[in-house]
Structure 1
Amino acid sequence: MKLTQTHIEELYKFTRQHYVYHYDVQTELVDHLANDIEAIWLENPKLSFEQARDQSFKKFGIFGFMDVIEAKQKQLGKKYNKILFRFMKEWFSIPKIMITLLIFGFFYSLLNFQVNEIIFLIILFCLAIVDVILAHKLVKKANQRFKQNQKKFLLEEMIFRTGSFNTIIIFSNFFQLSNFTHNLTSDFGKFLFAFFITLAIIFSYVTLIIIPQKAEELLQETYPEYKMVKSL
């Protein structure tokens, strides 16, 4: 006995009811459930679709699909980190390395010339404001994408939401670190502080602008079915 298209649609609905919201994870689970249900029917063809489905679902244990979701998040988290590292690495090659050196030189000079701490805080505050604005726009764009497409992929959500959250966390930590700027007397301390601010700015630019601009390319590269799903 084979599953019908109606059964497949019911399985997608079943995964959504059990807190699986990403289409790629749903598809993986539906494929697993469908194969297992057909195997169960070979052993006991008298079972209804719902009975076979529930029997298959019990094999996932008391936490249901949670373990599968967590494993998929870790897998695609590593994928996202590789993408991030790839684009970050580009900033340390010619000609972008020149921009990096200019940013670093600016902050190192501020520290070296012992600019008033208030001025330093204002600069950091302005950077944080820009960061929040870009993050807000990215989240808004994500909501529009998911509303329009109905189906969202896990990597897609990481690109449009995780990156914006991470950059805000980083800049909030810099405000705490800025309390120690007046105690930075060694050249190495100033170098390190200027380096991390430069890295945070590049990180913010890559996660909030570059990677989202490359989203379609990255999603098609990761999911062979993405282009087909989007065209539906």
Structure 2
Amino acid sequence: MRKISEQEINQLFVFTQKHYVEFYDVQVELVDHLANAIEDQWKENPTISFEDALQTEFKKFGVFGFTGLVEQKQGELQKYYNRMLWNEVLKFISIPKVILTVGLYLGIVFFLQKTKSLGEMIILTILLSSFIYFMVDGFRYILKIRTEQKKQGKSWLLQSVAQATFSIPSIGLGGAYYSIINRLFQENLGISNAGIHFLAVFTVLHLLFLFVFYKVIKPNLNKSIKETEERFQIV
């Protein structure tokens, strides 16, 4: 039975690149799938050409070709890390971590009630400063990824997910911060008792989010990217 040659393997890589698959790990997976599928066709029909066998297999991916597969994989990975983030945050409202969470919340409420406008300004400064740090750190992280991609001449699907993981929360949190700060300034930094509790809850969630992100999500992403690089280094 005829086997895929090295030259044909290279043609498959070029084929995936021409059809908008930019991530090397996905290219390898697709090339392996296409090569096996073409060899299976040769078992049934040894006379079929490589190009015809390739086009037959490619048609099975539908009108969107490989694009749909790439988007599906990106979506699955993003959902995976989103679930990881929220699962870790939710651990802080279960015993025994809930004691720490409640203590932090009560401490912020007590601080705001005692310090009034000054305390509100301090909390808002902390929120805004940490958000700016998150954005700057995210920009540096994305720039680092793109520099590595340029240096290696390859990019990984996980790297795109890592960039989205930094970018998407920045947009969402930015909107939340704007709404809160705008509301407080409209009220001349004299928020009601209910507002104090709301600001305390938001601050606690904000701190938990940052803690989980930098202690769990970012290290996990870095580890997975490194493992992917090592895995495909010899391919």
TM class by shorter-chain length? Answer: 0.7 to 0.9
Instruction: Report the counterpart of residue 140 of structure 1 in structure 2.
Output: 143
Classify the secondary structure of the residue corresponding to 1:114.
helix
Aligned amino acid, residue 33 of structure 1: L
Identity of aligned residues (%): 31
> Structure 1: which 5+ residue stretches go unaligned?
none
Q: Which amino acid aligns with 1:6?
A: Q
- Structure 2 distance, partners of 1:186, 1:33, is 64
Contact 1:163 1:207 in 2 (8 A): no
Task: Check whether the contact 2:138–2:166 (CA below 8 A) recurs between aligned residues.
Answer: yes
Q: Could you say if the C-alpha distance between residues 203 and 119 of structure 1 is closer, same or farther in structure 2, counting changes exceeding 3 Å?
A: closer
Gapped runs of 5+ residues in structure 2? none
Give the match for residue 164 of structure 2: 162
| Higher Rg of the two aligned structures | 2
Q: How does 1:1-232 map to 2 (within 5 A)?
A: 1-85=2-86, 87-88=88-89, 98=100, 101-102=103-104, 105-106=107-108, 109-110=111-112, 113-115=115-117, 122-159=125-162, 161-173=163-175, 174-181=177-184, 182=187, 184-187=191-194, 189-207=195-213, 210-219=216-225, 226-230=229-233
TM-score when normalising by structure 2: 0.76
Q: State the AA in 2 paired with 1:211.
A: I
Normalised to the residue count of structure 1, the TM-score between the two structures is: 0.77
Which stretch shows the higher mean deviation, 177-186 or 71-80?
Answer: 177-186
Rounded to whole Å, the distance in 2 between the matches of 1:135 and 1:16 is 28
Tell me how far apart the structure 1 counterparts of residues 111 and 229 of structure 2 sit (CA, whole Å): 47
Q: How many residues align?
A: 227
**Greater CA drift, 111-120 or 173-182:** 111-120
Query: Displacement, 1:231?
Result: 6.1
Q: Is the 1:184–1:190 Cα contact (8 Å) retained in structure 2?
A: yes
